[in-house]
Amino acid sequence: MENQGRIFKVFTANSNPKLAAAIAKELGCELGKAEVKHFSDGEISVSIQESVRGADCFIVQSTCNPVNENLMELLIMIDAIKRASAARITAVIPYFGYARQDRKAKPREPISAKLVSNLLTTAGVDRILTLELHTLQIQGFFDIPLDHIISAPLFTSYIKEKGDFDPNEFVILAPDFGSVSRARQFSMRLGCPIAIIDKRRPRANVSEVLNIIGEVKDKKIILIDDIIDTAGTLCNAANAIVEKGGAKEVYAYVAHGVLSGNAVEKLQNSVIKKVVFLNTIDIPKEKMLDKFVVLNVAPILSEAIKRINKDMPISAMILE
C-alpha cells in the first residue's frame, strides 16, 4: 500500500516566487502564508502566518542574485519554521549559490560551498532538494540527505520533442573539462559524439580557448554547461568552435541563467543561435532575448516533493 505521507506545506521567500507558485499549482495546493520583508536598516524579517506544527515543510528558494540576501532569507525562514515545530524541513534550492567555491584553488582561500552547507544544517534544515549542482562533490558537504536532480533528461526530452533532431548531424560540446560528465549524459541520451574545449583562466570570469578536442567540422553543436554567469566561457567556446573548428551552428543548453554583467549583450552578439535555460532563476523581461528559451522545472520538482513527502524512492527520476 502506498504511503500517503504527512501533511505538507510549500513556502517561498523572494528569490523566485513564480517558480514556487508553479510548484504549488502542480501539487494542487496553495503556497503557505508567510511574509518576508526588510527593516529600514536592511535586516530581514520573516513571519510564518499559519500553523506548521507536525507538517512536512518545503521552502523554495534559489540562492541567486542578490545571493547573500536570498541565502539569509532562506536561513531565517528555516529557523522560523523549525521553531514553529514543523516535523521536517526540506530546502528546495533550484539554484545553489556559492557552488563554484567548492575547493581551495590556492592558499588561504575559503571553501564557501561547505560553509553554506554548514549554515543550512545549523539553521535546522533536515533535507536538501537541488538541481544541477556545479560539482557533484558538493553533495558530500552535507551530513543530511541531499537529492540532486540533473538537467540532461529535461533538455534532451525538449530536443527530441522538436522532431527534427538527427544525431548524426550533432556533436555535444563541453566548454571545459569540468563539463565532460554533463556532456556524457547528453551523449548517452541523444547518441551523439562528444567534443571538449581545452581552456585556461588567466583570472576570474575570464577564459581563453587553447584547443578543441574532437571532430566538429560541418557539425551542429549542442554546447552544454550548468551556469551562464558573465557568458565569457560560453561565447568564447561557441566562437572558437565555429571559427577554429568549422562547426555549422551552435545551440547552448544551460541550467542556470545567472546573466551578470554584460552577459546578455555578449550572448546577443555571439554565434549562438539559441540558448535554452531552466527557470531555476527568474530571468527578468529586460534580459530576455528572442534567442532565449526557458523550460519549466516545476513538474519535476513537484514530483520530487511528492516522493519525499511519501518517503518514496526518487532514484527512478532524473537523479545523479
Q: Which residues are catalytic?
A: 199
* Residues 109, 164: Cα–Cα separation, whole Å: 47
Taking CA atoms, 316 is separated from 292, 307, 311, in Å, by 30, 11, 14
278, β-bridge pairs? 295
